[in-house]
Chain A
Amino acid sequence: MKTLGKIFVGLVYAVLYAPLAVMVLFSFNSSDSTTIFTGFSLRWYENLFSDFSLMEVLGNTLMISVTAASIATVLGVIAAYGIYRMKSKALKNAVNTVTNIPLTNPDIITGVSLMLLFTFVAMWLGRSDILGFWTLLMAHITFNLPYVILNVLPKLYQSDRSQYEAALDLGCTPFKAFRKVTFPGIVPGILSGFIMAFTLSLDDFIISYYTNGHFSILATNLYTAVKKPIRPTYYALYTLIFLAILVLMLTVNLMQIRSEKKQAGSSKLVKTVALLVAVVMVVSVVFFAGGGKQNTLQDIRDRLEGKLEREYTTDLAGTTLYVYNWGEYISDGEDGSLDVNLAFEAVTGIKVVYDTFDSNEAMYSKLAGGGVTYDVLIPSDYMVSRLLQEGYLQTIDFSKLQNYHYIDSRYLCPEYDPTGAYSIPYAGGYLGVIYNNTMVDPADLDGTWSLMWNEKYKGQILNMDNARDAFATAMFAQGIDINTTDPADWDKAADYLMKQVPLLQTWVMDQIFAKMEGENAAIAAYYAGDYMTMVDNMEEAGGIGDHLSFYLPTEGTNIFMDAACITKDAQNYEAALLYLDFLMEPYVALQNAEYICYTCPNTAVTTNEEYSLMGNEFLYPETDVKATYYTNLDPAVIAYYEKLWDRIKSGS
């Protein structure tokens, strides 16, 4: 019986710790794979400490957690004392009920309800930039408060009222009596309330996700990170956090065992002190990394020396530019590439806050939802057209641009932006089918979309996680016009997609990299450029990129162009213009095009002999590809197919 018990406990621990063991192990991997251990290395730890944006996020996280926990503690103690002194029982019950609401409500409801509050206020004030540090702080204080109150209240009820009265009797004012007599008794409750508030703040994802706006903290940053194949840098970071907590807990436990007889309060004090020491240490690391940033900016300036077409020094240095782009869609400094955003900061002094989305619709919802705005957006063609029609964009002042002439004339004044005044082509390409040639039988390859419906590959197929692209795959397969406005056509496509549901492994966007590179799925619809990126990644990881193949289906496919725009609400218009010009800089554009592997509309790149992707059959096909752009559809049609899509996703 006892051995059986031990085996059971051991098993539970094994399951509980298995993912953590994986995390720790692969934080020491020499490649960026999270499933194949290629050898021991510390590169991800080096990477971590030189990753300024991550360090900044870490700093943000601590700032929010410490501030929110401190304010919540002060407010909570006052509130608890107030509740304790309250005489009306009914009022007391009412307040306690309210206090319990954030505890019993699911986080997602607390998050959504606060988001509604903030966007409502934003609407009312007519401001679109309300979500950020302050709203996040208020949200954190709100969900921290009940925990502080619930930790302090019992201590107050335990405290001896007659001592407080004795203090008054001896001449103390009520405040002094509270400070001298009541307060020391509730200190352990205050400390555990603070610790709990701090740790909850540190760990919260859902509520932050709905209230943070541009202000990135670790959890929201991680949410973007885990959509793609995670960089082991995050493993390294969480391994360090894990170890730090482990050491902290062991120390506290040992001290507790040593001073068994001492008051529980002293161990709480030890915990708090240890926590503060840890915070101070992290802050100094972040600060230290901040110093390192200056060196890196200088390195970038040296690298760009003489390579830029124009001067970027302005009096805008020190301002911030908010950019919203697709995920995995800019050169980010990995493996010696140019970090475009950091480079922009290096030459202009303008800090770029860079967020990513994984579908046009997600981007649109964030803008339309209110409360948050960006200066620069890079959506796809049909979405540019929609934003333009709905008044989200403003014209670009081309007189202030010097590199616009590099844009290939073929792409100027496109259908989606007929005057060409609102957008500048950024990168484009074709939708196609990626498949694993070791898993797919060559006999099944007929170059059509029907491969995505082949029952032989049940559970191995991935479709795209957004309505427009997913519908397009079905429409091409069924011979329907992808820009149809006939509901019957959409119904037909929806039925066909429904048929695919049982065959699919899942819907993906950026997760596709982990799925296809890791050979977890056999067939996927995705963009040509990302197929190229996968091959590149595979080659860098272990030299085997040849198990993935790609084709442009014969029934026809989607061609797209993503274009940079400036929003109507842009707070930093001049900086946005500089950014657009910077993206068109021949050197920058080349670096970027090499990194993202998409079709580049910049002639300075396509005519450059060093550009390795020129002539690639999927990016620059020589023969005519049967391909159609999406056009912006009538809002009623959009609503119609979005509802269909919602049904498909809900499985109902």
Chain B
Amino acid sequence: MNAPAKTVRRSPGTVLLNAPYMVWAGLFIIIPLFLVLYYALIDSDGNFTLNNLKELGNYTDVIFRSFWYSIIATVICLVVAYPFVYVVCKFGPTSKKLTNMFVTLPMWINLLIKTYCLTTLMDNNGLINQFMAFLGFGRLPLLNNTGAVIFGMVYNYLPYMILPIFNVMSRMDNSLMEAAEDLGCSPMQRLRRVVLPLSMPGVISGIIMVFIPSVSTFYISSKMGGTENSMIGDLIERQIRVQNDLSVAAAISLLLMVVILVSMFVLNRFSDDNEGGSMLV
């Protein structure tokens, strides 16, 4: 009886195993976040200041707009994705397989090019309006308004809502559905009392996965929103790329981070009552 049994328990190996990742995470995850904090609290000469945070007061419209639009986009995604998944799961196993594939497929095409194609469809003289004109109808102002930004977000992030819900719902034990029906649930009652609560983990990850990229988007809003729909992402991008003001960019990032952290915390508390972990695709 020698070494082996001991080495399992306390070997310097564990430290060695953890060291590379800890160093990496420290360098590239932790330090950058502190740098965001640091830059948010200094002025252009490197002195401590709270002015950058005060600057945020000038952007309350943008900030509220971003959260408001993202909430709407997330809700629309949910309202579309949930029945979509529910219906698809009823069609049978082949349909399930195909759904997974056909929902994933558009995600392989870069968001930039998809959004560009969307604008060629929706522009004042875009394909849809050309078609409308061809039919003799008037042209519709589809692009460069609030609706367009929200549609752009819904379009690009819908798969991120569908997939986690689908992952949960397609694996839901059919006998649970039968049990509910057996115990007297009409289809609507079954949806409310069994399917909905059981699919909550999927819904929650879906909400997170749609809300976060929506609230921080900068391409969709600037490309599809016209002049009055600027969002937080545009703001950060503009501070860095045009205003050359890293400190204000950092302050806005900090605010965004804090708000997301808080909402994640609330969501997680809310989902603690449910079984199953988070489902990131």
Binding site for B on A (CB under 8 A): 5-6, 8-9, 12-13, 15-20, 22-23, 26, 34-35, 75-76, 78-79, 81-83, 85-87, 95, 98-99, 101-110, 112-117, 119-120, 138-139, 141-142, 145, 147, 149-150, 164-165, 168-169, 171, 174, 196, 199, 203, 205, 210, 218-219, 222-223, 226, 230, 234-235, 238, 241-242, 245-246, 249-250, 253, 256-257, 359, 361-362, 364-366, 368-369, 459-460, 466-467, 501-502, 504-507, 514-515, 518-521, 642, 646-647, 649-652
In the complex where A35-B120, A78-B20, A86-B18 touch, is A205 in contact with B112 (Cβ < 8 A)?
yes
Stretch at the interface among B58-66, B171-179, B190-198: B58-66
- A119 CA to B103 CA in the complex, in Å? 39
Question: What are the residues of chain A within 8 A of B102 when measuring CB–CB?
Answer: 13, 16
**B212 interface hit (Cβ, 8 Å):** yes
By size class, the interface of chain B is: 35 or more
Q: Which of A99, A116, A253 counts the most chain B CB atoms within 10 A?
A: A116
17 contacts between A and B (CB under 8 A): A8-B83, A13-B102, A18-B121, A19-B118, A20-B109, A23-B113, A82-B21, A104-B260, A108-B233, A150-B280, A223-B112, A361-B242, A361-B244, A369-B246, A506-B227, A514-B120, A650-B59
Is B50 an interface residue when CB atoms closer than 8 A count as contact? no
Pick from B5, B31, B155: contact of A15, CB below 8 A.
B155
List residues of B whose CB falls within 8 A of some A CB. Answer: 4-5, 7-8, 11, 13-14, 17-18, 20-22, 24-25, 27-33, 35-36, 39, 58-62, 65, 80, 83-84, 87-88, 90, 97-98, 101-118, 120-121, 123-127, 130, 141, 144, 155, 158-159, 208, 212-213, 215-216, 218-219, 223, 225-230, 233-244, 246, 249-250, 253, 256-257, 260-261, 264, 280-281
B-chain residues with CB within 8 Å of residue A505 when the two chains form the complex: 124, 144, 226-227
Q: Which residues of B contact A79 (CB under 8 A)?
A: 17-18, 20-21
Cβ of A139: which chain B residues have Cβ within 8 Å of it? Answer: 28
B245 to chain A, nearest CB (A): 8
CA distance A205 to B237 in the complex (A): 13
Most buried by B among A87, A114, A650: A650
Most buried by B among A18, A109, A241, A467: A109
- From A105, A119, A502, B228 is in contact (CB under 8 Å) with A502
Are B243's CB and A501's CB within 8 A?
Answer: no
Instruction: Report the separation of the CA atoms of residues A366 and B242 in the bound assembly, to the nearest whole angstrom.
Output: 8
- Structural contact, A369 and B120, CB atoms closer than 8 A: no
Let me know if B120 and A34 touch, CB within 8 A.
yes
Q: CA–CA, A108 to B250, complex, Å? A: 11
CA distance A218 to B230 in the complex (A): 26
Rounded to whole Å, the gap between the CB of B57 and the closest CB of chain A is: 10
Is the Cβ of B101 less than 8 Å from the Cβ of A102? Answer: no
CB distance from B74 to the nearest CB of A (A): 14
Chain A residue numbers with a CB within 8 Å of B4 are: 168-169, 171, 174
Residues of A within 8 A of B242 (CB): 359, 361-362, 365, 466-467, 642
The distance in angstroms between the C-alpha atoms of A470 and B193, with both chains bound, is 58
CB contact between A116 and one of B32, B90, B260 (< 8 Å): that residue: B32
List of B residues within 8 angstroms of A223 by Cβ: 112, 219
The chain A residue with its CB closest to the CB of B113 is: A238
Closest 10 pairs (CB-CB, A-B): A79-B21, A106-B216, A82-B17, A113-B32, A19-B117, A652-B61, A82-B18, A5-B87, A365-B244, A142-B28
Determine whether the beta carbon of A9 is less than 8 Å from that of B87: yes
The reply to whether A238 and B14 form a contact with Cβ atoms under 8 Å apart is no
Q: Assess whether A365 is in contact with B17, with CB atoms less than 8 Å apart.
A: no
Residues of A within 8 A of B227 (CB): 501-502, 504-507, 651
Complex: A6 Cα to B116 Cα, angstroms: 29
Asked whether B141 lies within 8 Å of A459 as measured between CB atoms, the reply is: yes
Contact A650 B127 (CB under 8 A): no
Q: Tell whether A652 pairs with B59 under 8 Å between CB atoms, given A116-B246, A506-B227.
A: yes
Say yes or no: B109 contacts A242, CB within 8 Å.
Answer: yes
Residue of A nearest to B102 (CB): A13
Q: In angstroms, how far is the closest chain A Cβ from the Cβ of B70?
A: 10
Determine the distance from Cα of A515 to Cα of B226 in the docked complex, in whole angstroms.
12
What's the least CB distance linking B251 to chain A, in Å?
Answer: 11
B35 touches A113 (CB 8 A): yes
Nearest-neighbour CB distance to chain B for A121, whole angstroms, equals 10
Complex contact B124–A521 (CB within 8 A): yes
- Contact yes or no, B121 A22, CB < 8 A: yes
